Amino acid sequence: MCYLFESFKGWKIYCEEKNVTLHDSVIEYEVEQKNAESNQIKAGILNAYQVMKDAVKTGLEEEMTSRSGMINNGAKKVFNHPLAVLSPEFQKLIARALAAKEVNSCMGRVVAAPTAGASGILPGTLVTLQEIHGLSDEKIVEGLLVGAGIALIIEEKASLAGAVGGCQAETGSAAAMAAGAMVYCLGGYTDQVFNAVAITIQCMLGLVCDPVAGLVEVPCVVRNASAASIAFSSTQIALADVSSVIPVDECIEAMGEIGASMESRYKETAMGGLAATLTGQQISKRVLIQDIEILPDDESTE
Ligand code: SF4
């Protein structure tokens, strides 16, 4: 059944011919790949969603300061800030995406969906969508399964790794998974789900991977917030049947082509972009000195 996740076009044809839903087709695939029962697959996804919800809560309630000091309780500040430029729901969306990602930057437990660098986007978007629409956990699990199918195709046609395709491949893919999942959870049909993916990818194309000091903190945490907001806007656009014009498979191919042409300094090497700025370099030196200072004596003198 592996061909199923080679393209969005193929995924749609498969589901139509077999008369199965998008999320059931992912369960079928997982059952075959893992030699497991469908209820085990659903239970695993439900467990992953609980970890996502816990990460949001942890990030909003506990101390979140990273060892480098670059991350310092940003999610709580956004959540509680009284001067709003966003609607209350939007403010919570941003804070939740920041919260879950800050947990990752502070070495807490998250779901790498699809990577740890992008681990705030699905929690932020889905927890907020669930709250706005009163959705059940079971409905969110269906959305997450569709998100998994989206990731399988992006991995096949382009990449999910910043080291291969830049940040578009990490936060861009997570935002596309989230947008597709949200449209699905709200009852959107297959073309709307795929259109949401296409629009999201169009908005994220070209984003480079340039983590300061090689740590997945800056700009990663704030990019999780912006990617979550793009996922929301793409969901709204797709639900209104506004076309991406460029079909989703071609959008993913464009992302692959852009990723392949990116110089290596923009692919997680911390040698370009924000990592290469004067301040980025200073932070990098300070973090390196911190690391040397905490090495045991016998290791630091070798
Ligand atoms: S900048 Fe690089 S490390 Fe950070 S989230 Fe993006 S892809 Fe991941």
Question: Which tens digit of pLDDT belongs to each residue from 229-264?
Answer: 999 999 999 999 999 999 999 999 999 999 999 999
Is 1 among the domain residues?
no
What range does the domain containing 245 cover?
Answer: 8-300
Is 186 among the domain residues?
yes
CB 14, CB 25: distance < 8 Å:
yes
| Residue 84: per-residue pLDDT | 94
- Pick the residue whose CA is nearest to atom 6 on ligand 1: 167
What is the Cα–Cα distance from 293 to 105, expressed in whole angstroms? 21
pLDDT tier for residue 188 given thresholds of 50, 70 and 90: very high
Is 3 among the domain residues?
no
What is the Cα–Cα distance from 163 to 184, expressed in whole angstroms? 30
Cis bond before residue 219 (omega within 30° of 0): yes
Q: Note the pLDDT tens digit of each residue in 133-151.
A: 999 999 999 999 999 999 9
User: Is pLDDT of 301 > 60?
Assistant: no
CATH code of the domain covering residue 60 = 1.10.4100
Is 206 among the domain residues?
yes
Is 2 among the domain residues?
no
Higher pLDDT, 255 or 2: 255
DSSP run (H or E) holding 25: helix 22-34
Q: Work out the end-to-end distance of the chain between its first and last CA atoms, rounded to an integer number of angstroms.
A: 52
User: Is pLDDT of 31 > 60?
Assistant: yes
Give the mean model confidence (pLDDT) for residues 89-99.
98
Cα(96) to ligand 1 centroid in Å equals: 18
| Residue 270: per-residue pLDDT | 97
Mean pLDDT of the chain: 96
Q: Could you identify the residue written with the tokens 């309780």?
A: 73
User: Is pLDDT of 166 > 60?
Assistant: yes
Q: Note the pLDDT tens digit of each residue in 55-92.
A: 999 999 999 999 999 999 999 999 999 999 999 999 99
Q: Could you identify the residue written with the tokens 């101390």?
A: 63
Q: Is the CB of 225 under 6 A from ligand 1?
A: no
Cα(23) to ligand 1 centroid in Å equals: 28
| Residue 1: per-residue pLDDT | 52
Helix (H, G, I), strand (E, B) or coil at 209: strand
Is 89 among the domain residues?
yes
Is 296 among the domain residues?
yes
* Ligand 1 pocket test, candidate residues 105, 110, 212, 223, most atoms within 8 A of CB: 223
Is 123 among the domain residues?
yes
Domains identified in the chain, total number: 1
What is the Cα–Cα distance from 262 to 209, expressed in whole angstroms? 10
Q: Is the CB of 171 under 6 A from ligand 1?
A: yes
